[in-house]
Amino acid sequence: MAQYRNNMKILGYESSCDETGVAVVCTEQGLLAHGLHSQIAMHQAYGGVVPELASRDHIRRVLPLTEQVLHEAGLGLDDIDAIAYTAGPGLNGALLVGASFANSLAWARGIPTLPVHHLEGHLLSPLLADPAPEFPFVALLVSGGHTQIMQVEGVGQYRLLGETLDDAAGEAFDKSAKLLGLSYPGGPALAALAEKGNPDRIQLPRPMLHSGDFDFSFSGLKTAVLTALRKLEKEQGQATDQDRADLAAATQAAIVDVLAIKSLRALKKSGLKRLVVAGGVGANLLLRQHLLAETQRMGVQVYFPPVSLCTDNGAMIAFAAAQRIKYGIQELQSAASFKVRPRWDLEDVAV
């Protein structure tokens, strides 16, 4: 099986949830081209991701996106040395579309494949930014399904410091947004509404703030939002637009506070001087502003991926694969067989 050599071109696929992402990354030159199709509009009518619809849409999009990305990179299939794909965690059917497409294409071309952990893609995506962080760093990984604080010593060297015991931060945004009558995905919608609100009018809990560890619990927040909403409705007959905006601002402030305080504590305890934020919630402006101000005071450098690469995309998958190949962490595989892992801990891919 072919192994690492200079200027390998990796074609990467992301299809773990509701975004079809395709990208080409060169092991030396970095990102050459990437394309994305978001299914948000399709799932909006249902208030959340419908797995079967997601799988079918990935099938429709994957080939045209591949052609588009290769065209943009000025490359043909002959130039591709290996094909990477998200093997998990995620929706089983959606993962299978990307994995079977990637393996079929690789098999037809006689080139190897590389299964990639979706969260490792998120975790390394800030390295696509300019300037890129150097190792080691503390990473705050905040996506729709995961909330973790990791100590990252290098590619493949990940130590979990803490994680959510129940809902993820993105889930807390999404569920609270739904209660406030906002459409899916709730995070950006809640953040937009919060801009018109007063975060100090309604007090919401900051769960596990004083637990002395780096774990989180966000499942109580949606109940607190619902209770506050019911109280307003009881007192006034109905909640006004301003009430909803104030509640959105209070929700965002509560989530951002807990994420920021625990990340800063992890920095202090580890003694590391770099913080990296990755995952969809990393697009949140308040979180960015808050962390930027606090880390500046501590003399710590904070890094965010470009906003367009915070949410799911193919670039992070192709890039993570390129790094794993380059540093000899993972061997390229034959496309003759593959499996996907809807549930999969990030620490399983650590060395």
Cβ nearer to ligand KG4, comparing 63 with 307: 307
Long-range contacts of the stretch 54-59 (C-beta < 8 A, 24+): 54/17, 54/18, 54/91, 54/93, 54/94, 55/91, 55/93, 55/94, 55/96, 55/97, 57/20, 58/15, 58/20, 58/94, 58/97, 58/98, 59/97
At its nearest, how many Å lie between Zn ion and the CB of residue 305? 11
At its nearest, how many Å lie between Zn ion and the CB of residue 197? 27
Where along the sequence are the contacts to ligand KG4 (CB under 6 A)? 17, 122, 143-145, 170, 173-174, 185-188, 191, 279-281, 283-284, 311-312
User: Who's near 67: CB < 8 A, 6+ residues apart?
Assistant: none
Cβ nearer to ligand KG4, comparing 156 with 186: 186
The listed partner (ligand KG4, Zn ion, none) that binds 65, CB under 5 to 8 Å by sort, is: none
* CA 130 centroid distance within chain: 19
Pairing status of strand 82-88 against strand 274-278: unpaired
Tell me how far apart the alpha carbons of residues 117 and 135 are, in angstroms, rounded to a whole number.
Answer: 20
Interface region with Zn ion, contact rule CB under 5 A, candidates 90-98, 168-176, 230-238, 311-319: 311-319
The listed partner (ligand KG4, Zn ion, none) that binds 26, CB under 5 to 8 Å by sort, is: none
Query: What's the Cα-to-Cα distance from 238 to each of 164, 195, 228, 280, 302, rounded to whole Å?
Result: 33, 21, 12, 32, 42
User: Nearest CA to 173 among 243, 249, 246?
Assistant: 249
At its nearest, how many Å lie between Zn ion and the CB of residue 18? 10
Cβ nearer to ligand KG4, comparing 106 with 182: 182
Tell me how far apart the alpha carbons of residues 325 and 9 are, in angstroms, rounded to a whole number.
Answer: 11
**312 near Zn ion, rule: CB under 5 A:** yes
**143 near Zn ion, rule: CB under 5 A:** yes
- Phi–psi pair at 323, nearest 5 degrees: -65, -45
Cβ nearer to ligand KG4, comparing 245 with 332: 245
Cβ nearer to ligand KG4, comparing 263 with 311: 311
At its nearest, how many Å lie between Zn ion and the CB of residue 130? 22
Interface region with Zn ion, contact rule CB under 5 A, candidates 6-14, 137-145, 193-201, 235-243: 137-145
For the sheet containing 274-278, what is the strand order? 157-163, 147-154, 137-142, 274-278, 301-303
SS (HEC) of 289-340: HHHHHHHHHHCCEEECCCHHHCCCCHHHHHHHHHHHHHCCCCCCECCCCCCC
Cβ nearer to ligand KG4, comparing 318 with 332: 318
Q: Which two tokens stand for residue 37?
A: 């199709």
The listed partner (ligand KG4, Zn ion, none) that binds 254, CB under 5 to 8 Å by sort, is: none
Tell me how far apart the alpha carbons of residues 277 and 185 are, in angstroms, rounded to a whole number.
Answer: 20
The listed partner (ligand KG4, Zn ion, none) that binds 174, CB under 5 to 8 Å by sort, is: ligand KG4
Interface region with Zn ion, contact rule CB under 5 A, candidates 65-73, 142-150, 157-165, 281-289: 142-150
Cβ nearer to ligand KG4, comparing 117 with 122: 122
Cβ nearer to Zn ion, comparing 16 with 295: 16
Tell me how far apart the alpha carbons of residues 70 and 79 are, in angstroms, rounded to a whole number.
Answer: 10
User: Nearest CA to 90 among 115, 67, 69, 68?
Assistant: 115
The listed partner (Zn ion, ligand KG4, none) that binds 319, CB under 5 to 8 Å by sort, is: none
At its nearest, how many Å lie between Zn ion and the CB of residue 201? 33
Q: Which two tokens stand for residue 204?
A: 């919401």
At its nearest, how many Å lie between ligand KG4 and the CB of residue 235? 29
Cβ nearer to ligand KG4, comparing 80 with 249: 249
The listed partner (Zn ion, ligand KG4, none) that binds 133, CB under 5 to 8 Å by sort, is: none
At its nearest, how many Å lie between ligand KG4 and the CB of residue 2? 30
User: Which residues form the interface with Zn ion (CB under 5 A)?
Assistant: 143, 312
